[in-house]
Structure 1
Amino acid sequence: MSAQGTPTTAGRTAGVSQGTTKETPKGAWTVTFLLFLFMLVNFADKIVVGLAGVPIMTDLKLEPEQFGLLGSSFFFLFSISAIVVGFIVNKVATRWVLLTLAVIWALAQFPMVGTVSFTTLLICRIVLGAGEGPAASVAMHAVYKWFPDEKRTLPTAILSQGSAFGVILAVPMLNWIIVNHSWHYAFGALGVVGLIWVCAWLIFGKEGPLENTRVLAATETKIPYVQLLTSRTFLGCVAATFGAYWALSLGLTWFTSFIVKGLGFSQSDAGWISILPWVFGATIVILTGWISQVMMARGYTTRISRGVLGSVPLIIGGLILATMPYVPGVGLKIVMLVVGPGLCGAIYVVCPPMLGEFTPASQRGAILAIYGALYTLSGIIAPNVMGTVIQRSGSIVDGYMTGFTINAVIMIGSGLLGLLLLWPNTEKARLTRGPAPREAELKGAVSPT
């Protein structure tokens, strides 16, 4: 970019060069929609414990620290599983890996239909987490086999929307089951939905034609993993998304409980309020995907159209969340809690495409998985921290406010790190010791080979 903020000639040339590389194959959007539903089920599975938090704590007589442990248990094997499966999809078709993951999700829900102990619930959540750990990275890797680099931001946003819609659509239905029947049946309903997706994927799911996994593994020039994993853009993506996922994991585990116990709403009302962050977040995700793709088409470098676009909302969101304890009235507190963490959604849209810019396609599955495994470590820490802070505070409300303030500080710090480190448009040339960054952009080097 020039000093005036307009795209340079080099930037425009890069955009034109990228835009003529490959066409989107027929069937790409059908698979994208199925993977959107895949992510929808994924997040519905995640939210159910947080949504049923108060009934679960009441029935099983759990303290806040124990419930925090339950929320964290989902992530015990999450990262390990993500890394292992990430290397598997470098060589195995994503179609069958996705099918296996969905079967695990469904089967992990059914034990909760009957009377369960805290230990059984804990084990089932650990198993579910192991099945869901690789989900996002494998789904992204699968959809990138259908779209060239310059067209990946929008499908990435759509996949990210699966998380929001998984909550928006699931919360009213699951909460109705919880209020009118039992939290046990909410788990069973999710198991059935998971099996329905498995059947649909068996019929319509296909492997993308733009990349042949086996051919790429045998012929593509590799970059040493140590170079990929220590690149500043990879580190920036991990740092930025770590803060965003801290907010998300608190939303999954503690948001509904805060609305009931901290703000005094009923379980029925809390179910509807719990939708608001996801509606707002869905808007942010779609806008980010659209704006990013428009900026790239107009010649902006991916440093601006992805790196800056994803990092700045994190910082702003953290500042908004930091004001929540000090605003008057319940309504304003809810607004701050919705808007602040909701802005984090931007980073999920831009980081996978940024990593795809400089990672060889035959290594992309592993890199996306390791990225996911590292940033989701905050999912282990955040629910436990909140539970500990609540239990050791003078009052429940004070505990929640302290926990959300910690979240705000982490969001601001991670956003600043992202702003500092995310330079994907120069990363590939540096990693391959290719031409200087300006010359690389003129040659369209920001597009993966």
Structure 2
Amino acid sequence: MIAHQTSRETPNATPKGAWKITFLLFLFMLVNFADKIVVGLAGVPIMTDLKLEPEQFGLLGSSFFFLFSISAIVVGFVVNRVATRWVLLVLAVIWSLAQFPMIGSVGLTTLLICRIILGAGEGPAGAVATHAVYKWFPDEKRTMPTAILTQGSAFGVIVAVPTLNWVVVNYSWHHAFGALGVIGLLWSVAWLMLGKEGPLVGLATSTAAETRVPYFQLLTSRTFIGCCAASFGAYWALSLGLTWFTPFIVKGLGFSQSEAGWISILPWIFGACVVLITGWVSQALMARGVSTRVARGVVGATPLIVGGAITAMLAHVEGAGLRVALLVVGGGLTGSIYVVCGPMLSEFTPVSQRGAILAIYGAIYTLAGIIAPYVMGSVIQHSASMLDGYLTGYTINAATMVASGVLGLLLLWPNTERARLTADRAAPPELLGRPAE
């Protein structure tokens, strides 16, 4: 089905109904991250029931991302031509159905298969939701809607963790998966009734052909590479938070499963504040005429470096409370980069190619989700003690964050990228080494 083009993007108009759709997509991302975190939240009961070694549990955490990137790229090209309304609906239904097999008695193989299917359904989610909401807001007004979408992830954890943990403690981890399946189906029904395609649509048509940029140019631009590098480090920390944070505070720091349910939401509460502040600061700076190099690039990458430095202190302090505090602050600061990268890439990507570029960006940086959980499990299993393993794993995490943040600071120049690509499109073909048509 080809999406109907209703209008072109205009400089300042925000269509009626934009915030309603933003709220629905916020809920979409909320369910998305609740689905992601349930394995980590129930990590200790799952490892106990299925008698899993740390490496096996790390593999389970990584399995979610096996098809994540491939699916993101494929669907990213699909949404260049198919209405995001229907793509979002199909994705949500896939998530929901993938949860129900875990209600019964299952082994590691079934868990792996269901998590792989879930990852394939959720891989495109962030990019498609971002592409969908950008059809409702012009460029200069996209930072706050992006921040709100990002908050769906934080609130997905903040709301879901205490509730799901109560289910795990009082019933079983099997029921937690089933509850998420039901919630996903409820969102699907709400979206089917209320979801709409945004009017600021510029889909690939013959009339827009002259605005297209070769994908090679877009994918090799320094801002695209910088976004991938910076977000890779942030997602390394995020995937560890999804998979290993709760097991760490239970097995490594000695808290109970009930206490862990409340402690596990702290990084997400702090991260939610960081993301909203980043969105507000970025948009305020742009309103004052500050370049997007600073208002988006510097504002997004700097907290990643600071967060990595704070996380690096984890192995050099004593006390469970202080270690939790360092992880909360260090991990929470990484969220800034997600707020700014979508708008930065959209600055210089033609609308008809935006869905694919956002999806490829997401597919690249989420590769960290395959590596990080397994690396942590392997380090734990081969360390002298479980606590030593966790601390070494988080030191690796800290180094990754700092390195990726530095690359972000060096490479994120969206305003000059836009100027360069615009100049290239305006230049005569023979000057660019292409034959004149």
TM-score by shorter chain over 0.5: yes
- State how far apart, in whole Å, the 1-side matches of 2:206 and 2:145 are: 23
- Aligned-partner Cα distance in 2 for 1:85–1:61: 37
Count of residue pairs the alignment pairs up: 418
Query: Residue deviations 1:92-119, cap 9 Å, x none?
Result: 1000000000000000000000001110
Q: Where does 1:287-326 land on structure 2 (aligned, <5 Å)?
A: 287-326=277-316
Q: Tell me the amino acid that sits aligned with residue 171 of structure 2.
A: H
Distance (Å, rounded) in 1 between the aligned partners of 2:74 and 2:320: 44
Task: Write the letter of the residue equivalent to 1:59.
Answer: D
Secondary structure at the counterpart of residue 354 of structure 1:
helix
Q: CA 1:217/1:171 → structure 2, altered by over 3 Å: closer, same or farther? A: farther
Q: Residue type of the partner of 1:320?
A: I
- Tell me the residue number matched to 2:175: 185
Aligned to 2:52: 62
Query: Identity across aligned pairs (percent)?
Result: 76
CA contact (8 A) 2:167 2:173 kept: yes
Query: Aligned in 2, Cα 1:374/1:435: closer, same or farther, shift over 3 Å?
Result: closer
How far apart are the structure 1 equivalents of 2:242 and 2:420? 39
Deviation for aligned residue 1:434: 5.1
Deviations 1:296-336 (A, max 9, x none): 00010000000000010000000000001111211111100
Q: Report the equivalent of 2:4.
A: none
SS at match of 2:423: coil
What corresponds to 1:34 in structure 2? 24
- Structure 2: unaligned runs, 5 residues or longer: 1-8, 427-437
Instruction: Map 1:187-336 to 2 at 5 A.
Output: 187-213=177-203, 215=205, 218-219=208-209, 221-336=211-326
Secondary structure of the residue that 1:323 maps to in structure 2? helix
CA drift of 1:433 comes to 2.5
Tell me how far 1:22 sits from its aligned partner: 2.6
Deviation at 1:432, TM superposition (A): 3.2
| Cα distance in 1 for residues equivalent to 2:369 and 2:128 | 19
1:162 and 2:152 correspond: yes
Structure 1 residues 408-427: aligned runs within 5 Å:
408-427=398-417
Q: Does 1:125 align with 2:115?
A: yes
Q: Which moved more, 1:188-197 or 1:424-433?
A: 424-433
Q: CA deviation at 1:215?
A: 4.2
**Secondary structure at the counterpart of residue 210 of structure 1:** coil
Which residue identity is paired with 1:393?
S
Structure-1 residue corresponding to 2:420: 430
Confirm or deny that 1:24 pairs with 2:14: yes
Contact kept in structure 1, 2:10 and 2:138, CA below 8 Å:
no
- 1:372 aligned residue: 362
Q: After TM superposition, give the deviation of residue 60 of structure 1 in Å.
A: 0.5
Q: Which residue of 2 aligns with 1:112?
A: 102
User: Is the Cα–Cα contact under 8 Å of residues 216 and 362 in structure 1 kept in the other structure?
Assistant: no
1:98 aligns with 2:102: no
The whole-number CA distance in structure 2 between the counterparts of 1:212 and 1:206 is 16
1:32-56 superposed Cα distances (whole Å, 9 cap, x missing partner): 0000000000000000000000000
Q: Deviations over 1:20-40 (max 9, x none)?
A: 823100000000000000000
RMSD, aligned CA: 1.4
Q: d(CA) in 1 for partners of 2:210 and 2:115?
A: 38
Write the distance in 2 (CA, Å) between the matches of 1:213 and 1:102: 23
User: For the Cα contact (< 8 Å) 2:92–2:185, is it kept in 1?
Assistant: yes
8 Å contact from structure 2 (residues 213, 425) kept in 1: no
Give the Cα separation in 2 of the matches to 1:63 and 1:341: 26
Q: Equivalent of 1:85, from 75, 97, 102?
A: 75
TM-score (norm: length of structure 2): 0.94
Tell whether the 8 Å contact from 1:74 to 1:125 is kept in structure 2 after alignment. Answer: yes
Alignment of 1:323-362 (within 5 A): 323-362=313-352
How far 1:188 moved relative to its partner?
0.2
Structure 1 residue 431 displacement after superposition: 1.9
- For 2:184, the aligned partner's letter is G
| AA partner of residue 410 (structure 1) | T
Cα distance in 2 for partners of 1:114, 1:375 equals: 34
Which consecutive residues of structure 1, in runs of 5 or more, have no partner in the other structure? 1-18, 437-449
Equivalent in 387, 390, 398 of residue 380 of structure 2: 390
- Distance in 1, matches of 2:74 and 2:272, equals 30
1:381 equivalent in alignment to 2:354: no
Asked if residue 148 in structure 1 is aligned to residue 138 in structure 2, the reply is yes
Q: Partners of 2:425 and 2:235 in 1: how far apart?
A: 36
- Show the counterpart of 1:444: none
Give the secondary structure class of the aligned counterpart of 1:394: coil
- Counterpart of 1:44? 34
Change (3 A) 1:435 1:103: closer
d(CA) in 2 for partners of 1:212, 1:93: 12
Runs of 4+ in structure 1 over 3 Å off: 214-220
The answer as to whether partners of 1:223 and 1:432 remain within 8 angstroms in 2 is no
**Bigger mean CA deviation after superposition, 186-195 or 205-214:** 205-214
